[in-house]
Amino acid sequence: MSTRWLATFESDLPRIIADLEALVRLESPSDDAQRVSQLAAWVHDRLRERGVSAELFPCPPRGDAMLASIGDRERGSLLLGHLDTVWPAGTLAEQPWRLAAGRASGPGVFDMKAGIAVGMAVLAAIVRETCASPVSLLLVPDEEVGSQASRAMTLRVASAHRQVLVLEPSLDGAAKVARKGCGVFQVRFRGRAAHAGLEPERGASALGELSRFVSFLDTLAAPAQGTTLTATLARAGSAANVVPEAAELCVDARVWSRAEADRVTAGLRGYQAAVAGVSLAVEGGFDRPPLEPTAASEALYALAHRLGQELGFELGAARVGGASDGNFVAAAGIATLDGLGPRGGGAHARDEHVLVADLPVRAALVAALVCEP
Ligand SMILES: [Zn+2]
């Protein structure tokens, strides 16, 4: 079964590469709603030409989402991905599309235009070969900036399916069976200004308290369990000779489990200032819950692993720090397997590329997962 799919996608490879080139050439930075919507429309139009029904959904203030479906969603699989990239418009001029030595390169090719090309190929082949299994493809406009505008839609669409296959990049070919949850906290400190030379004792240093807070992060973190707290941005003070009245700190938090997310949130919110006259407020929280392995997702991985063996490769299982929309849908209790995109490297980096020979292999794996009863 899966090897039959491999033959199908090997003969479709020229079309898949042409799609991938067009996808990369249509630059789609998250903050440019118009360009992202143009890409959504391009995918929508190609799928319709190939006999798949597709619709566009506005996600203000971001660009459009694209949803294509074959058959009855209730029993079907959802292929999930994103249209946006981290690259600003114009990157293509410095980092052009290239196809050489078995690699395709260009901005966004790995994260995750190759995954989009695979999803399009799977839907087109399923329509053509009339496999009875229902399948949908949802591409959102804002995953790289936290999916605020598309999250409700993703959850609604995902919960109408039996399983979610996320076409985000693989990690050296491995699927992503666990992802850390991530949070961003903003901490604002308020003290009292005073002349640093004449009467510093009348001041209350917001910066002094900020520095204590940064040390406190080390006591709250649990690196052995994967819980990290990183102070990433800081701002304080108004002049070189004034005790700082205000300070701000941004903290990036990553955890493997919900329990750790709750512990870290309570710890940060419960912090008591020690510098007399300084108060603080902690805002923010865990924006994406951790993707924790469940029985349903482990069964899905086991199936994918067996199908991979039929296709001649060992599908690894990776645990990664970065979050994706797979985190939301898994936390909602839907069987989810992430990182099914083709092999490659350099996500968010200048050497971003995918291995062309892996495109038909991944398409065959995804199609086999969709069509497995
Ligand atoms: Zn991505």
Looking at residue 286, its pLDDT comes to 93
pLDDT of 190-212, one tens digit each?
A: 999 999 999 999 999 999 999 99
> Ligand 1 centroid vs 82 CA: distance in angstroms?
7
> Ligand 1 centroid vs 99 CA: distance in angstroms?
21
> Ligand 1 centroid vs 188 CA: distance in angstroms?
31
> Ligand 1 centroid vs 246 CA: distance in angstroms?
36
Looking at residue 330, its pLDDT comes to 92
Please give the biggest Cα pair distance in the chain: 83
133, 306 contact by CB (below 8 A): no
Contacts of 272 (CB under 8 A, 6+ apart): none
The span from the CA of 368 to the CA of 308, in Å, is 9
Q: Is the pLDDT of residue 229 over 80?
A: yes
Q: How wide is the angle at C-alpha 118 spanned by C-alphas 9 and 319, nearest 5°? A: 120
Q: Which residue has the tokens 């961003």?
A: 184
The span from the CA of 300 to the CA of 116, in Å, is 21
> Ligand 1 centroid vs 284 CA: distance in angstroms?
23
pLDDT of 34-58, one tens digit each?
A: 999 999 999 999 999 999 999 999 9
Q: Is the pLDDT of residue 132 over 80?
A: no
> Ligand 1 centroid vs 279 CA: distance in angstroms?
39
Q: What does the block give as tokens for 296?
A: 């349903």
Other Cβ atoms less than 10 A from the Cβ of 259: the count is 12
> Ligand 1 centroid vs 341 CA: distance in angstroms?
10
> Ligand 1 centroid vs 277 CA: distance in angstroms?
45
Number of H helices, E strands in the chain: 11, 16
